[in-house]
Structure 1
Amino acid sequence: MNPSHIAIRNPASVFILVLMIVTLGSSAYRGLPREAAPDIQIPLLIVTLPFPGASPEDVESLVTRKAELALQNVDNLEEIKSTSAEGASTITLEFELGFDVDDARVKVREKLDEVRPELPEDMEDPIISEINFSEQPMLIV
């Protein structure tokens, strides 16, 4: 027997079945856990090495290369990218997923402290920052 014939002969049963499916579906939807602002951690650190008044070439040779060499040995480092601009060097460190960013920050600070004597004296202290989505606005109107 064809299912459409059964549905046509028993409209009350079809209505009750549809009502049960809608009720159970909406109940399951309300029971799903969800967060308005989930805590998303990206294992990414940005190291800025300010060297005021220096040309991009000087920044690269005196700061960026030495800092990169020191930072290459940090544990769980996946990728390192650097940019040398006038007055500053920016090094982006990408770590393996699941790696503790706070632990990475401590290790990066230690490596930079080790290489500090090789860097120019008039260079400012390094700035280590991370991307934190919980501090970013969810909606800009």
Structure 2
Amino acid sequence: MGITKFVLKRPVTIVMALLCLLVFGISSVFNATLEQMPEMETPMLIISTRYDGAGPEDICELVTEPIEDEVSTLEGVKSVSSTSSDGSSMVMLEYDYGTDMDEAYSDLTKKMNSIERQLPDDAEEPTVMEMSMDASTTMMLSISHRTQSNLYDYVDQKIVPELEKITSVASVEATGGSSEYIKVELISEKMAQYKVTMSQITSAIEAANLSSPSGDTVVGNLELSVTT
């Protein structure tokens, strides 16, 4: 009853208070900033390294894995993920929320200075970038061809590396399609006849699959990566 009495005795005061709340609400709605990608702090840092002429396996072994081994021990690092492609390595570090990202950036930069001597001489200096939601614009390209059967390999080996060379591009990923591979079917009777085991065949294939980057060569209008 106390509130009811107060309202009945001071109607003008109550009406003015309601009008103030209404005006404040309308003002807040019109002044609110609407963004498709609201600015927010994302505790992630990215390490990008170029090694032209090297294939994905060489990039992974010579660049990506050494970086992962070293940065995973940094304070505040929650998880480490990576992508290795032709001529490019990208390592993503996710930090615990609440981590001082300025300090984390400084620590990572110092760590990369010490890691650099472990990388191949021809590899470019690693670049450390801070992940930002308002800068993470995504563009999707769809590519199709009626006759080219190995379209995925062409996109992954030719188009993706060219897009990655663009300064403002953080990462490029090819999805869909399938990569070419060699399927080896074993005949148990022949294996028994020649006294060959599956492990011996596996070892022979792995030994014949060694490759090292040898640079690029130009064939017509195409620039191809060469491995030996």
* TM-score of the pair, normalised by structure 1: 0.71
Tell me the equivalent position of 1:10: none
Deviating runs (4+, > 3 A) in structure 1?
A: 18-22, 34-39, 133-137
For 1:136 and 1:24, the matched residues in 2 are separated by 40
Cα 1:84–1:135 shift into 2, 3 Å:
closer
- Residues 55 and 100 from structure 1, CA distance in 2 versus in 1: closer, same or farther, beyond 3 angstroms? same
CA pair 130-114 structure 1, distance change in 2 beyond 3 A: same
Distance 1:98 1:35, change over 3 A: farther
Q: Which amino acid aligns with 1:103?
A: E
CA RMSD in angstroms comes to 3.1
- Give, in angstroms, the shift of residue 132 of structure 1: 2.7
Q: Which residue of 1 aligns with 2:47?
A: 47
Q: Does 1:78 align with 2:78?
A: yes
The share of aligned pairs that are identical, in percent, is 27
Unmatched segments (≥5 aa) in structure 1: 1-15
**Once the two structures are superposed, what CA deviation does each residue of 1:62-100 show, in whole Å capped at 9, x if it has no partner?**
011100000011110011100111101100111111212
User: Residue 136 of structure 1: CA displacement?
Assistant: 7.0
Q: Give the 3-state SS of the residue equivalent to 1:130 in structure 2.
A: strand
For 2:114 and 2:84, the matched residues in 1 are separated by 21
Higher relative contact order, chain-length normalized (CA < 8 Å, sep 6+): 1
The whole-number CA distance in structure 2 between the counterparts of 1:133 and 1:54 is 31
Partner of 1:25: 21
| Separation in structure 2 between the aligned mates of residue 57 and residue 136 of structure 1, nearest angstrom | 27
1-side partners of 2:53 and 2:18: how far apart?
Answer: 68
Q: Secondary structure at the match of 1:65?
A: helix
The residue number in structure 2 matching 1:103 is: 103
State the one-letter code of the partner of 1:117.
R
Q: Which segment is superposed worse, 40-49 or 126-135?
A: 126-135
Distance 2:77 2:49 in 1: 19
Structure 1 CA distance, aligned partners of 2:21 and 2:136?
Answer: 34
The count of residues paired between Structure 1 and Structure 2 equals: 122
Tell me how far apart the structure 1 counterparts of residues 108 and 114 of structure 2 sit (CA, whole Å): 10
Structure 2, unaligned stretches of length 5 or more?
1-11, 138-228
Structure 2 residue 121 is matched with structure 1 residue 118: no
Q: Report the TM-score when normalising by structure 2.
A: 0.46
Whole-Å separation in 1 of the counterparts to 2:117 and 2:136: 36
How far the C-alpha of 1:40 sits from its partner, in A, is 2.1
Deviation at 1:110, TM superposition (A): 1.4
